[in-house]
């Protein structure tokens, strides 16, 4: 029988794919003292997932994804602190819509370029937003950040508590929705065409694919998800710092994804988890030199685990299978 490498992979969710959710729920019960930290990790997983859609699948290299994350964070924060809209779901929808609009508008301009030009443009857009947030102090709090953010109970029932229980579960539900959407997309014909564009855009044109329009659509979807992640961060921390737009945040996100494995969907889960735990532990052990440890971790991954930690796992499993034969 002829083996078919199907167009594309099977869509049924495998048991391994349920593992992150089982682990996340287990952590809720077993590690209650870490729930606020866990909620932040879930936010960054969602953020990394949004980046993976465009970087890992569509091949759009960006250093400006914090533009959407930051915009989402500020929209949620401003609605809560300045407009009096405290419902978290309304804030989330508004943040998503704002990030989507920004994604369409900026994507339509910058995705006509590629390579270094594209990279610089993504950086420039974030820098502009950073400066706007810095100058518009009456709205954003400027350099000091936006305080006074109050968030109403989720669905009018679940109040954000000091121990981070609601925040954790709320983030988990939003992350699940984001994961489900991204997963549907990457296994869809649209997702397949994004992979085609990443692999060979010349050929995609030659088969009649409007590559530019597809990229703008993917960029906007990714921006929307990043905006939701930004809104989540505001809601669980009840504060918006200007660093949500920073170059460091964008770089950190990229490092997280590279660490986990780009273009693998679950690399976006592993990367932020390992990075943030390592950061937390190293900062406790070596308060002055913790960045050295992060740098060393990344160097080791790049040198010995191309494809990130998931790529390394793949290779180990392949060798074990080979050894068994």
Partner 1 sequence: MSAVLETRGLCKSFGALTVAANIDFRLNAGARHALIGPNGAGKTTFVNMLTGRLAPSSGRILLGGDDVTRLTEEARVKRGIGRTFQINTLFRDLSVLDNVALGVAERRGVATRRWRPASAHAEVRDEAMALLASLGLDADAAVRVVDLPYGKQRLVEIAIALGLKPKVLLLDEPAAGVPSLESERILEVLDALPADIAILIIEHDMDVVFRFAERITVLVQGEVLCEGTPAEIGADRRVHEVYLGERHG
Could you list the residues that contact partner 1 (CB under 8 A)? Answer: 2-11, 184-185, 187-193, 195-196, 199-200, 202-210, 214
**Least Å distance between CB 211 and partner 1?**
8
Q: Toward partner 1, which CB reaches closer, 4 or 33?
A: 4
Q: Toward partner 1, which CB reaches closer, 7 or 304?
A: 7
**Least Å distance between CB 9 and partner 1?**
7
Q: Toward partner 1, which CB reaches closer, 9 or 23?
A: 9
CB-CB neighbours of 172 under 10 Å: 19
**Least Å distance between CB 86 and partner 1?**
33
**Least Å distance between CB 266 and partner 1?**
18
Handedness of CA 67, 68, 70, 75 (dihedral sign): positive
233 and 43 Cβ atoms separated by less than 8 Å: yes
Nearest CA among 252, 272, 294 for reference residue 24? 272
Q: Toward partner 1, which CB reaches closer, 6 or 33?
A: 6
Cα–Cα distance measured from residue 254 to residue 36, given in angstroms and rounded to the nearest whole number? 23
Q: Toward partner 1, which CB reaches closer, 195 or 283?
A: 195
Q: Toward partner 1, which CB reaches closer, 128 or 181?
A: 181
**Least Å distance between CB 43 and partner 1?**
24
**Least Å distance between CB 13 and partner 1?**
11
Q: Toward partner 1, which CB reaches closer, 184 or 319?
A: 184
Cα–Cα distance measured from residue 56 to residue 94, given in angstroms and rounded to the nearest whole number? 27
DSSP string, 81-92: III----HHHHH
**Least Å distance between CB 163 and partner 1?**
37
With both helix axes pointing from N to C terminus, report the angle between 35-52 and 267-285 in degrees, rounded to the nearest 10: 140
Spell out the residues 6+ positions from residue 274 whose beta carbon is closer than 8 angstroms to its own: 259, 260, 297, 309
Q: Toward partner 1, which CB reaches closer, 193 or 249?
A: 193
**Least Å distance between CB 186 and partner 1?**
10
Cα–Cα distance measured from residue 271 to residue 284, given in angstroms and rounded to the nearest whole number? 20
DSSP string, 39-80: HHHHHHHHHHHHHHIIIIIS----S-THHHHHHHHHHHHHII
């Amino acid at each position: 029988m002829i083996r078919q490498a199907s167009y594309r992979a099977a869509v049924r969710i495998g048991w391994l794919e349920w593992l992150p959710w089982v682990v996340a729920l287990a952590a809720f019960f077993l590690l209650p003292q870490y729930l606020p930290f866990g909620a932040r990790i879930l936010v960054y997983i969602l953020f990394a997932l949004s980046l993976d859609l465009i970087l890992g699948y569509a091949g759009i290299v960006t250093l400006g994804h914090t533009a959407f994350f930051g915009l989402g964070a500020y929209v949620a924060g401003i609605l809560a602190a300045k407009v009096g809209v405290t419902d978290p779901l309304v804030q989330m929808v508004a943040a998503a819509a704002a990030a989507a609009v920004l994604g369409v508008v900026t994507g339509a301009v910058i995705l006509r370029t590629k390579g270094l030009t594209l990279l610089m443009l993504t950086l420039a857009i974030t820098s502009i937003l950073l400066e706007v947030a810095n100058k518009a102090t009456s709205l954003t709090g400027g350099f000091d950040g936006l305080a006074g953010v109050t968030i109403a109970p989720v669905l009018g029932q679940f109040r954000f508590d000091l121990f981070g229980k609601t925040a954790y579960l709320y983030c988990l539900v939003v992350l699940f929705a984001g994961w489900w959407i991204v997963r549907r997309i990457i296994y869809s014909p649209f997702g397949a065409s994004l992979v085609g564009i990443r692999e060979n855009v010349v050929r995609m044109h030659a088969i009649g694919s409007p590559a530019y329009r597809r990229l703008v659509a993917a960029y906007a979807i990714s921006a929307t998800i990043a905006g939701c992640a930004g809104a989540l961060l505001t809601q669980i921390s009840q504060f918006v710092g200007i660093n949500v737009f920073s170059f460091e945040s964008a770089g950190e996100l990229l490092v997280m994804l590279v660490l986990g494995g780009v273009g693998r969907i679950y690399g976006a889960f592993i990367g932020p988890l390992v990075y943030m735990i390592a950061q937390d532990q190293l900062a406790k052990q070596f308060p002055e030199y913790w960045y050295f440890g992060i740098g060393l971790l990344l160097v080791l991954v790049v040198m010995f685990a191309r494809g990130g930690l998931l790529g390394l796992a793949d290779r180990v499993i392949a060798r074990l299978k080979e050894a068994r034969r």
